[in-house]
Amino acid sequence: MGTAGILLATAVGFIAGLIFNYIFSLIFVFKQIDESAKQHKIRSFILFTVIGIIGLALTETGMYAGIRMFGQEWYLIVKIIIAGIVLMWNYLARKLLIFKGAKYGQK
């Protein structure tokens, strides 16, 4: 697979993951979402997407910086650290901006 194929697969994977994550966040993580979020699903999805894109940018920036600072042999350690940071960013931003008032795991 060439570079174009890898880039296309990355984009398709990101979009599929974003949609999957949004649906499953609504169903399993934040069962009691704010009424305004229920009524504005398109707006919520756009905000969810923007937060995800910022997370992707943080991942790319963190990976670039980490590999430049520590070298390619530390790629996996850098990836684990960056994944943890981005996980917290995604969760907190979505919790505060989209699912505010939601109770985790309650219906």
Contact 52, 87 (CB under 8 A): no
pTM of the model: 0.69
How much is the pLDDT for 42?
77
pLDDT by position in tens, the chain (length 107) = 665 665 567 677 778 888 888 888 777 766 655 555 556 677 878 898 899 899 888 888 888 888 889 887 887 898 889 889 988 998 899 889 887 765 555 44
* Rounded Cα distance, 98 and 82, in Å: 23
How much is the pLDDT for 107?
46
Tokens of 16: 């599929």
Identify the CA nearest to 48 among candidates 104, 98, 102, 100. Answer: 98
How much is the pLDDT for 79?
82
* Rounded Cα distance, 76 and 103, in Å: 34
* Rounded Cα distance, 89 and 10, in Å: 21
